[in-house]
Structures are given as C-alpha cells and as structure tokens.
Chain A
C-alpha cells in the first residue's frame, strides 16, 4: 500500500499489529478517526493508555482488576467456600457471563506444557495450594480445557492438594473434548458448572 502521508502510514502500521486486523481494515479505522473531531481520538487513545497503565492482576486470584483485589474477591455476597480454577481471565469472563457461578476464582495463567516451556512453577499453582490451605475453601472446581495438557494440570494439582481437606470437582464434560473452554456457548458452560462431578469419577 502506498500512502501519501507518513503520519497515516504509521497509524495504519500500528493498527495492523493488532490481532485480526489487516492493512485494509487498519486503513479504514485510521480514515474513520481522521474524519472525526480530534477529541474523539483523544478520548480513544486516553482510554487505551489508561487501561494499559493502570490495569492490575488481583493479588488474590490473578484475575484482571483495577485495584489490588478484584471485584469478585471483594464482593461480600460471593461464596468463599468455592474456588473455580481456570486457565485465563477470558475463562473468568466466560463463566461470569453465564451468571451461574457465585464462588471465587483462581486464574492459573495457562496449563502445564513443557513443550511450550510452561512448567508447574511458571503457573500460579503454589498460590492456589496456599489459598486452598489458608482460606475457608471447601471445594475446588477445575474448569480447565479437556485436553491432554488440561488433564496433566488437573491431576498434578489434585496430587498437591491431597493433604488438604478440600474436595476437587471438574466441570461436567458437556464441553466438547478437545474444545477450548472459551468457545463453549454460555448455556453449555453454565450447565456444566452446575452439574460438576467429583474428580476421578469420570
């Protein structure tokens, strides 16, 4: 693509670095912003900058948060005896969207996969074990993708928890085997959390 303006070219390049955005879409976005009042672009870039500068990870569950402790952990109405273990913050969002879950979360940051350089200590597994011991947790719900790596992670964590009194359940596998959790539609996901089963009883 040939731009008559270096300013536009730079902006297009910046947009096209985002996932799912090609040069053509990037140009459309840039032209759109250009045809609007300057203030719109100012608000736009301010929002993004502020988000990036101030976003935090909850010290407790590692969910995204504006404060040190996230809204879920801070909510006095949530059931503190339930911990739902997920791979990523996207899974938290997916499960929150179902409106079926009233407990707390623990975001691992991935699943164990030495091929990709991810070992148990790369993830927030130790923190989970500490939480399981220290808090009033009774049940840990594994909402992890049903893949080989997901199974490894669940089995590994369950072994680490064997000296605690918490029960381990997994979400019912209405979620297609091999499918990523975030692709499961809300209904299936909501149902599979309600009808979770004790781990090991599959």
Chain B
C-alpha cells in the first residue's frame, strides 16, 4: 500500500500544503518545532481517524481556524483510492473513501494498516499496563473490526458499571440487579477480546524474537507473555467474587481492562535488568514485529512511520534498522530527523532510493538528491 499524495488544510501548523511521496523511503528533515511529527501524524490520522498523540480534534485544527481537512491519494491492492477526512470540532467528523462517507468511522480502521514508531515507545516497557494494552488494541483493531467493536462495547459497559458503583456509594444503597446486568453485558466482549489477545501473543512472540535478533544483533532470549485474570478463572465467577471489593472501591477491579504483557530478557524481567540500549532495541523490535504481523494478517504492506529515528538509536543501529526495513519485507516508509542529511547519507551508502523533504514552519520543500 502506498500513499502517493497528501493535501493538508489547517492541520496543526500546516495552513495549506500538498506533497507527493516516493513509494520507498521518504525523509522529513528540519529543525525542532517545524512540523515533522505533525506531518507524520497527518498520515496516521488518515489511517486511524485520530491523532497518535491522544490530542482531541479541537487542538489539531490550526489555531484560529474553524476546521481541518486531509486528503490522501492511496494505492491499495493496485487500486487508486481517495481518502478525505473533514473535521469541524463540535460536529460529527466525516471520513470519505472515494467520496462515499463511512456510516461508522470504525469501518475504516484497518483499511490502511499503519505502524508509528515514536521516541515515547519506551513507555511500553517502563510505564503502566495501559500502554501495553493499547499496543495490543492498536494492532488487533487494525486486524479485526469486531475486536474494536467489542472493545468499545466493553469500555462503555465498564464506564456505566463504575458510574453505577459511584452512585450507589453516594446514595448509600446497592442495586444488585443492575450490577448483575452489567456483569452479563461484560461477559461476551471480554471473552472475545481475551481470546484475541491470547491468540495475538502466541503469534507475536516468534516474529518478535526474530526481529529482536536482527535489531540488537544479540542472542538473548526474549519473551512476551499475556497476563489476564480471565486466563485463571471464569470471568463471571470472578465478578461475583470481587463484587464486595468493587462496591467498596467504587470501581470494577477485575477484567480485561487490567490485562498486561510481561516482558522478559533471558528469563529476567525486562524493566529491572535491561540496559537502556536493550530497552530501546526491545520496544523498537516490538513495533517492527507489530508491522510484520499486520502484514501477515492483511497481506498489505502497512505504512511505516519512524519519528525522530536518531533519538532512539546511534548511527550503527540506525543503519541496521534502515537495512532491515528496506530488505523487501517492509513497504513505504516515512522518517523524520532533525539533522539535514544524516539519514540520507546512510540511505545513499546503502544504495536505497529516497525522497528528502525539508520541513520549515508548516511548509515542505523538496531537496534534490546530490548524487545524480
């Protein structure tokens, strides 16, 4: 799959810009704060219908403007497609594929698979379990719309259940019938999500181990294990057992919203024993394995976005990664870097065709390749 062209109107610091891309490697270079990450996020938005950075649509609109619009010319399964996102904050956003608006936005998720690698990915290993659930969710949502549908249903019921528990505490009563109703409503989506996550981890581990070997050059044994209450006991029984605790704590203390992934290197917990370098290789490998798994599942090369590639890795590692993602197993790639020709130099040395765009305050200029 290839993004051939993009038009941005009022997207963050882009007023009006049209860009054409190469089907191979595209580099966005420019000083801090010029709009490199914003441009990558615009591409991400067209695939996932939201920003990668948990900002709401209101803050994406260029300051002082009433709306933003993105238009992409894609080539998918040898067909040309036009994707348009129109967002006026406060109204329902519209996503159109070849001029036909989606009735439900979630129907678009997974149509253009995408993986975005950012410096903050290390949070995957170091911070709370919500980061790791999000990783699973982002991957599985792109593979399976029913997953996303069940996840949204589960989250909605959970929110209502928690609100009910709070209300009971305030009113000094407890309506067992209502809590039982929510328990019943949680069961089906929880079972579906749990099964998918388990299955995902089984398929993920070997792919991940292979990528990690390539990225780190080391022979350490890496492990990723799925951890869930639901693996240990029947969810319905668990909900009944924890009812009293939930009532006191006024929230649902058990369920797939507590799932986690446990990482190990040579049988030790990653967080405690890995060096900074190992940690960076580890999370980078997770994202690249996410890419490979998405490809295996969908048979479409996802778009790969690599933000601030040098922030994570030294020159040798960057070269290794660039070699890996241009070996034919990966598709169109977008890379950002603050240094004007650091990435280009490596790519040229490796004989990899690439397109360089200089980003300056929401404007992009093509840099002609010197080698010709």
Residues on A with beta carbons closer than 8 Å to the beta carbon of B167: 114, 117, 119
Residues of A within 8 A of B163 (CB): 113-115
Complexed CA–CA distance, A155 and B157 (Å): 13
- The number of residue pairs between A and B whose CB atoms lie closer than 8 Å in the complex comes to 44
Q: How far is A35 from B188 in the complex, measured between Cα atoms in Å?
A: 62
Contact code string A37-80 (vs B, CB < 8 Å = 1, else 0): 00000000000000000000000000000000000000000000
Q: Which residues of B contact A119 (CB under 8 A)?
A: 164, 167, 175, 178
Q: Is A159 a contact partner of B156 (Cβ separation < 8 A)?
A: no
Residue of A whose beta carbon sits closest to that of B159: A115
Secondary structure at chain A's binding surface: helix, strand, loop or mixed?
helix
Check if B181 is an interface residue, CB within 8 A of chain A: yes
The residue on A at minimum CB distance from B152 is A148
Query: With the chains together, A179 CA to B39 CA distance in Å?
Result: 35
Are A113 and B160 CB-contacts (below 8 A) given A119-B167, A155-B181? Answer: yes
CB of B344 to closest CB in A, whole Å = 48
> A120: CB under 8 A from chain B?
yes
Task: Assess A155 versus B164: contact at CB under 8 Å? Given A112-B178, A120-B177, A148-B156.
Answer: no
Asked whether A148 and B178 contact (CB < 8 A) given A114-B163, A115-B160, A119-B164, the answer is: no
Check B178 against A156 for contact (C-beta < 8 Å).
Answer: yes
* B178 engages A120 (CB within 8 Å): yes
Residues in A with CB closer than 8 Å to B177 are 120, 156, 159-160
> Do B181 and A156 touch (CB < 8 A)?
yes
Nearest opposing residue in chain B for A178, CB measure: B104
Flag whether B242 is at the interface (Cβ < 8 A): no
Least CB separation from B104: chain A residue: A178
Q: Does A9 touch B at the CB level, under 8 Å?
A: no
In the complex, the answer to whether B182 meets A152 with C-beta atoms within 8 Å is yes
B181: chain A residues at CB < 8 Å are 152, 155-156, 159
How many residues of chain B get a CB closer than 8 Å to chain A's CBs? 18
Given the contacts A114-B167, A117-B167, A119-B175, A155 and B160 also touching, CB distance less than 8 Å: no
What CA separation (Å) do A120 and B177 show in the bound complex?
A: 10
CA gap between A152 and B175 in the complex, in Å: 14
Contact with B along A117-152 (1 / 0, CB 8 A): 101100000000000000000000000000011011
List B contacts of A159 (CB < 8 A): 177, 180-181
CA distance A108 to B273 in the complex (A): 59
Are A148's CB and B164's CB within 8 A? Answer: no
Q: How far is the CB of B1 from chain A (nearest CB, A)?
A: 29
The answer to whether B88 has its CB under 8 Å from any CB of chain A is no
| Chain B residue, CB-CB nearest to A158 | B181
In Å, the complex CA distance between A43 and B106 comes to 50
Asked whether A151 and B185 contact (CB < 8 A) given A113-B160, A115-B160, A159-B180, the answer is yes
Please measure, in the bound complex, the distance between the C-alpha atom of A113 and the C-alpha atom of B185, giving whole angstroms.
Answer: 14
Q: With A and B bound together, what is the CA distance between A152 and B157 in angstroms?
A: 9
The answer to whether A114 and B185 have CB atoms under 8 Å apart is no
Interface of chain A residues 102 through 117 with chain B (CB within 8 A): 112-115, 117
In the bound complex, CA of A160 to CA of B176 (Å):
12
- In the bound assembly, the distance between CA atoms of A149 and B185 in angstroms comes to 10
* Interface assignment of B191: CB less than 8 Å from any CB of chain A: no
**Roughly how many angstroms separate A86 CA and B226 CA in the complex, as a whole number?**
43
Assess the B175–A148 pair: CB atoms within 8 A: no
19 contacts between A and B (CB under 8 A): A114-B163, A114-B164, A114-B167, A115-B160, A115-B163, A117-B167, A119-B175, A120-B177, A120-B178, A148-B156, A148-B185, A151-B185, A152-B181, A152-B182, A152-B185, A155-B184, A156-B181, A159-B180, A178-B104
Given A117-B167, A119-B178, 13 more A-B residue pairs with CB atoms under 8 Å apart are A113-B163, A114-B164, A119-B164, A119-B167, A119-B175, A120-B175, A148-B156, A148-B157, A148-B160, A152-B182, A155-B185, A160-B177, A178-B104
5 closest A-B pairs by beta carbon, nearest first, are A114-B163, A114-B164, A115-B163, A148-B156, A156-B181
